[in-house]
């Protein structure tokens, strides 16, 4: 567990200190944004084509309501027959689950007490790095979001 946490922490640290984007990477980023914009255009076209179909389906709501009203008593009857059976099964399982949980609780409590300081340490180390990474990504995300809202 400690080794896994160390590996994870190392991976996060290496991401946090990654070099800024090179001109080639920036060109790829711009290209990816172009693809994203084209995808939004395709989605707009697709939704325009689906609108009449959805309108038709929604106009059938009364018919669906009628079908559901016919099925409701049947489902109600089936559920009334199953309820006592499920109740019986649950009453048999409850003591068993209670016993299992009572055995696991101290073990989980112990494990959590051992992991808490370690996680606290890792989080204290990650917080400044994540803050730095987010501050670098925020303008980019802002730009992407502004482009997306202009398309709608």
- Mean pLDDT for all residues in the chain: 83
Residues 86-113: b if buried by 16+ CB within 10 A, e if exposed: eeeeeeeeeeeeeeeeeeeeeeeeeeee
pLDDT(14) > 70: no
CA distance 17 to 128: 11
C-alpha angle with apex 23: 22 to 26, nearest 5 degrees? 85
Question: Is 25 a residue whose pLDDT tops 90?
Answer: no
- Residue 52 CA to residue 42 CA, distance in Å, equals 17
Q: Residue holding tokens 């309108």?
A: 55
Identify the pLDDT of residue 133. Answer: 85
Q: Which of 42-51, 94-103, 125-134 is predicted most confidently?
A: 94-103
pLDDT for 18 equals 60
* DSSP H stretches of helix in the chain: 2-16, 23-59, 61-151
Kindly report, residue by residue over 62-102, the tens digit of the pLDDT: 898 898 899 999 999 999 999 999 999 999 999 999 999 99
Confidence at residue 23, expressed as pLDDT on a 0 to 100 scale = 72
Q: What is the pLDDT of residue 126?
A: 87
Share of the chain above pLDDT 90, in %: 22
- Measured distance CA(123)–CA(131) in Å, rounded: 12
Give the Å distances, CA to CA, from 93 to 83, 87, 101, 137. Answer: 15, 10, 12, 51
**pLDDT top residue among 3 and 134:** 134
- Over 80: is that where the pLDDT of 138 sits? yes
Q: In the predicted model, is pLDDT for residue 19 greater than 60?
A: no
Q: What is the mean pLDDT of residues 102-126?
A: 89
Q: Quick check: 103 pLDDT over 70?
A: yes
| Phi, psi dihedral angles at 20 (to 5 degrees) | -60, 165
The two structure tokens encoding residue 26:
């920036």
């Amino acid at each position: 567990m400690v080794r896994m946490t160390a590996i994870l922490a190392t991976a996060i640290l290496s991401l946090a200190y990654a070099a800024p984007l090179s001109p080639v990477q920036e060109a790829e980023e711009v290209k990816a944004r172009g693809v994203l914009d084209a995808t939004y255009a395709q989605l707009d076209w697709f939704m325009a084509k689906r609108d009449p179909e959805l309108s038709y389906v929604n106009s059938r709501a009364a018919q669906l309501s009628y079908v559901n009203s016919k099925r409701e008593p049947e489902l109600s009857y089936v559920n009334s027959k199953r309820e006592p059976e499920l109740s019986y099964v649950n009453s048999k399982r409850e003591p068993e689950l209670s016993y299992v949980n009572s055995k696991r609780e101290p073990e989980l409590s112990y494990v959590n007490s051992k992991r808490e300081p370690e996680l606290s340490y890792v989080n204290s180390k990650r917080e400044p790095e994540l803050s730095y990474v987010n501050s670098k990504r925020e303008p980019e995300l802002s730009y992407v979001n502004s482009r997306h809202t202009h398309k709608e």
